[in-house]
Amino acid sequence: MVKMIPINQPVLGDEERKAVLKVLESGLLSDKSGEGAFVKMFEEEFRKYIGVKYAVALNSGTAALHASLMALGIGRGDEVILPSFTFCATAETVLLVGGKPVMVDIDPKTFCIDPNEIRKSITPKTKAIIPVHLFGMPVNVDEISEIAERHCLHVIGDAAQAHGAQYKSKKVGCFFDVECFSFYPTKNITTGEGGMVTTNNEEIFEKIRMIRSHGEEKPYRHVMIGHNYRLPEVSAAIGWVQTRKIDEFLKKRRHNAERLIEILENQEKIEVPEVPENVTHSWHLFTLKAKRKSERNKLTELLNKRGIGTGKYYENPLHTLKFYAERSKIISSLNNTVEAAERVFQVPVHPLVDDIDLIGKEIISGLKSM
């Protein structure tokens, strides 16, 4: 049986094990306010790494998005502009607060939301934008910030895939009203399940802290609607250690990604990623684009048979799914989104990939056989 190289894989070691054991030995697995010792350590470590004033740990990236929308007062009937080419949580959380997702097209090179499409979609009901730093590629921060300022809109950065990515030498997570991270096992760092909101706004920070624990301002004093979005101490302990290792992980990802681009850049049947000069990609997912859907599907099937895990993110864009289409406003035909969904695929570049040349050779071999 061929051993599979997964598309992504957590990197865990003795440091994480020791931190978890310390929590178990303490007997303090969680804190009623969500502010246990390791949660605080994790928040501080991550806050310093990103370069922001505040960070709030929650139990998922979805919780981070939902709590952020609540803290910003997004509610019934409010329109929120976002890409269709994303994981469902981006739009799902808008629906959870009673808002309406407004789905727009992407830039065909970066796969991130197109600022020009945002401009076309603004109405008197528009209250916020959720740009997604997709696959580890930062969005066009300057243009989106200018649009938001001009129209008095909130911006919630979906940074679930962008740990360590940079825009003009500043880390993703410090640019907008809030930015939301996920620590699911496939992400660049993990807590098992978990999320984080980063912000420079003290009022938003305090609201999200209360939302995290049932809207509680002080013990048994509940002043707003909230949820149980607390991150357990075991998860926080893993996250604290992982944050201290993130630069090491990113170095390996970038080495693998740059080497794979070097191997594949002259192949006529696929397009390699293009990274703008003013950004640093974090390579959560290494994304290639085939000439057509049929070739993409044949190549990924062949690679899987040869032990190389592949992904097809996001082959069903949200606007093509009946549930979301019925509850959203769809702006134009989203041609770039449809094309990307049919043609892109991902291959592994995570830190546990030791032989990136093998992956490159198998891709070239597969292309030649088609």
- Which residue in the list 127, 171, 187, 252 is annotated as catalytic? 187
**Three-state SS across the chain?**
CCCCECCCCCCCCHHHHHHHHHHHHHCCCCCCCCCCHHHHHHHHHHHHHHCCCEEEEECCHHHHHHHHHHHCCCCCCCEEEEECCCCCHHHHHHHHCCCEEEEECECCCCCCECHHHHHHHCCCCEEEECCECHHHCCCCHHHHHHHHHHHCCEEEEECCCCCCCEECCEECCCCCCEEEEECCCCCCCCCCCCEEEEECCHHHHHHHHHHHECCEEECCEECCCCCECCCCHHHHHHHHHHHHHHHHHHHHHHHHHHHHHHHHCCCCCEECCCCCCCEECCCCCEEEEECCHHHHHHHHHHHHHCCECCECCCCCCHHHCHHHHHHCEECCCCHHHHHHHHHEEEECCCCCCCCHHHHHHHHHHHHHCC
187 an active-site residue? yes
**What positions carry a catalytic annotation?**
187
